[in-house]
Amino acid sequence: MSRKIKNRSRILFIAFLIIGLISGMTAWTVSQEEKWYPSTWGAEDQRGALNRLTPEKVLEAMSLIKTGKVYELGRTYEDAMPLFGTRHFSLRIPQMSGPLGDNHVTWHEEIFSGEIGQIGTQFDGLAHIGIGDLYYNGLPQSEIATAEGFVKLGVENVGAIVTRGVLIDVVSYKGVEYLEDKYEITAEDLKGALHQQGITIRSGDVVLIHTGWGRFWITDNERYNESEPGIGLDAGKYLVEQEIVMVCADNWGIEVVPNPDESVAFPVHQLFLPRNGIYNLENIATEELAKDKVYEFAFIFTPLKIKGATGSPGSPIAIH
- Whether 24 and 37 share a structural domain: no
**Residue % of the chain over a pLDDT of 70:** 90
Q: Are residues 129 and 20 in the same domain?
A: no
Residue 109 lies in a domain: no
Per-residue CA distances from 138 to 123, 143, 190, 255 (Å): 21, 11, 30, 23
Residue 228 per-residue DSSP state: B
> Within this chain, do residues 8 and 132 fall inside the same structural domain, yes or no?
no
Task: Tell me the pLDDT band of 28, cut-offs 50, 70 and 90.
Answer: low
What domain count does the chain have?
Answer: 2
Residue 240 domain flag? yes
Amino acid identity at 22: I
Instruction: Say yes or no: 23 and 42 in one domain.
Output: no
Residue 156, CB-side half-sphere exposure with 13 Å CA sphere: 10
pLDDT for the residue numbered 236: 98
Task: Answer yes or no: do 18 and 59 share one domain.
Answer: no
Q: Sheet containing 161-169: which strands, arranged edge to edge?
A: 70-72, 317-319, 296-301, 161-169, 206-210, 246-249, 279-282, 122-124, 311-312
| SS3 label, residue 145 | strand
pTM equals: 0.90
Tell me the mean pLDDT in the region 194-199: 98
pLDDT at 11 over 50: no
Query: Is 97 part of any domain?
Result: no
Residue 313, exposed/middle/buried by CB under 10 A (0-12, 13-18, 19+)? buried
pLDDT at 32: 57
Q: Cβ(284)–Cβ(122) under 8 Å? A: no
Q: Are residues 222 and 294 in the same domain?
A: yes
Q: Does residue 107 sit within a domain?
A: no
Looking at the domain assignment, is residue 99 inside a domain?
A: no
Res 34: pLDDT: 72
Res 4 pLDDT > 80:
no
**Taking the C-alpha atoms of 305, 307, 313 and 319 in order, what is their torsion angle to the nearest 10 degrees?**
30
Examine the domain organization and report whether 2 and 60 are in the same domain: no
Same domain assignment for residues 26 and 43: no
Q: Residue 170 contacts by C-beta under 8 Å, 6 or more apart in sequence?
A: 179, 185, 189, 190, 193, 209, 210, 211
Same domain, 207 and 163: yes
CB-based contact 296:165 (threshold 8 Å): yes
Q: CATH number for the domain including 214?
A: 3.50.30.50
Residues 68-87 have pLDDT tens digits of: 999 999 999 999 999 998 99
Domain residue limits at 4 = 1-30
Tell me if residue 70 falls in helix, strand or coil.
strand
Closest CA to 151 of 181, 119, 127: 127
- Pair (261, 250) in one structural domain: yes
Percent of the chain with pLDDT over 90: 89
Asked if residue 248 belongs to a domain, the reply is yes
Is the alpha carbon torsion for 166, 172, 176, 182 positive or negative?
A: negative
Per-chain mean pLDDT for the chain: 92
Question: pLDDT digit string (tens) for 270-301?
Answer: 999 999 999 999 999 999 999 999 999 999 99
* Average pLDDT estimate for 45-68: 98
Predicted local distance difference test score (pLDDT) of residue 35:
86
Cβ contact 93:110 at 8 Å: yes
Angle of CA points 110, 112, 116, to nearest 5°: 140
Q: Classify residue 102: in a domain, yes or no.
A: no
pLDDT, average across residues 143-172: 98
Domain shared by 20 and 165, yes or no: no
Q: Is residue 282 part of a domain?
A: yes
- Residue 136 CA to its chain's centroid (Å): 15
Residue 141's CB is within 10 A of a number of other CB atoms, namely: 13
Residues 180 and 279 in one domain: yes
Confidence of residue 189 (pLDDT cuts 50, 70, 90): very high
At 56, the pLDDT band (50, 70, 90 cuts) reads: very high
